Amino acid sequence: MTRPPKASRWQIAWQRPYPLSRGTAVELGHSLAITVFALLLIWLTRPFGLGHLPASLADRLILELSAVCLGSDALLRAALPALWGRRLEAGWTCGREMLRTVTEIGLLACAVLAWLHLRTSMTLGPRGWLLGIAVTALCAAGPIALRVLLTERQLRAAHQDELERAARHSADSAASDWPSTLAIEASDGQLALSFSAFRYAEAEQNYVNVVWHEQNRRHQRLLRMTLSELEQQLARYPVFRCHRSFLISLPAVTEARGNAQGYQLNLRELPETVPVARSRLTDFRAAWAPVSQAAPPPATDPPT
C-alpha cells in the first residue's frame, strides 16, 4: 500500500486559514500603504513617458495617480468582503489572499494606465497594456507572498497566546450550577434533553439543527425556529452565541485552537469543530474562562 505524498511546507502554508477582512481600519491602512509605495515608485522611476513631461505637469499627474490608486484599492478591499465575505470567509486561505492581492495590484495598474490614457496623449496598444499589467503584478508577487505569510504567522501566534491566557484565567464570579435539563419549544414540536448532553445548535435557514451526545451516540434534530429564539429560551444556561450561525454549550468546549481567522472550538465527544466569529473573540474569552474552570464533570449516560 503506497502512502500519499507528503505535503510540502509551501503547500501547507498555502492552505492555512487567513482572514478575508481584518476590519475597515486595517484594510484602509493597507490601501494607504500600497498608495504610498506606488507614489514613491512612480515618483522615482517616472514610467510611461512621465519623465518627458514638464516637471509641474508630471508632479500633478503623479498625485492624481496616487488618488486613483487609493480610491481603487479601498474600493477593492471593501467590496469583496461586503459582497461575498459571509460565503468566502470560512474557506479563505493564504493562497487565496495572495492571488487576490496580486489581482488587486494588476487592477490598480490597469486603473493607472487608463488614467494616463485619459489625461495625456500616451497611447498603448493591447500588447502594451497587457505587458504593463503583467510586469506590475509579477514584480509584486514576491513581496505580497512574504507579507501574507508573515501576517498569518503573527495573527495565529496572537490568537493562540490569547487562548492560553484565557485558559489560565481564574473566574471570580463563575456560576457553577445551572438547570440539569432543558426543554426547547419550537413551532413544529418540543425537544427535552439533559443539558450535559447538549453540544451546539446551528442555524439552517428557517430551522435550527440541535446537536447533542447521549448514550455514546451523536444525535441531532431539526426544529422550526430561529437561533435567536433558541438563545432566548436557553438564557439561564451557560450557552454562547459564538457565530451568527452557531450557539454552543460552554461546558462542552474542550479546546479552542487559534489560527489567523480566529478560533475553532472542539466540543466533547464530537468530531466536528465550531468557528468563533472575529467580532465575538473577546466576548468568548470572557465567557469561556469562568465556565471552563467551574464546569462540572460530564454526567454519565443512564443505563439502557
Highest mean pLDDT among 132-141, 181-190, 220-229, 260-269: 220-229
Least confident range from 96-100, 150-154, 173-177: namely 173-177
Cα–Cα distance for residue pair 104/98, rounded to 1 Å: 10
The three cell numbers of residue 167 are: 485558559
- Nine cell digits for residue 27: 484594510
Range of the domain at 77: 9-167
* pLDDT tier for residue 82 given thresholds of 50, 70 and 90: low
Select from 295, 298, 297, 291 the least CA-distant residue to 173. 291
- In this structure, are 111 and 190 located in the same domain? no
Do residues 15 and 162 share a domain?
yes
* More confident of the two residues 199 and 125: 199
Note whether 56 and 129 are same-domain residues: yes
**Same domain, residue pair 157 and 227:** no
Checking if the pLDDT of 296 tops 50, the result is no
In a domain, residue 89? The reply is: yes
220 found inside a domain: yes
When the pLDDT of each residue in the chain is averaged and rounded to a whole number, the result is: 79
Residue range 191-199: average pLDDT?
93
Cell of 63: 498625485
**Do 111 and 256 share a structural domain?**
no
- Please work out, in degrees rounded to the nearest 5, the angle formed at the alpha carbon of residue 30 by the alpha carbons of 89 and 139: 95
**Do 67 and 198 lie in a common domain?**
no
Q: What is the Cα–Cα distance from 221 to 132, expressed in whole angstroms?
A: 57
pLDDT beyond 80 at 77:
no
Least confident of 41-55, 132-146, 159-173, 271-285: 159-173
The whole-number average pLDDT for the span 56-77 is: 81
Least confident of 92-101, 116-125, 128-137, 239-248: 116-125
Q: Are residues 158 and 188 in the same domain?
A: no
Q: Strand 262-267 vs strand 273-276: parallel, antiparallel, or unpaired?
A: antiparallel
Full-model pTM: 0.54
Average pLDDT over residues 159-170: 58
pLDDT exceeds cutoff 90 at 96:
no
Q: pLDDT tens-digit profile of 11-51? A: 777 788 887 777 777 777 878 887 787 778 778 777 766 77
Q: What is the pLDDT of residue 69?
A: 80
How many domains would you assign to the chain? 2
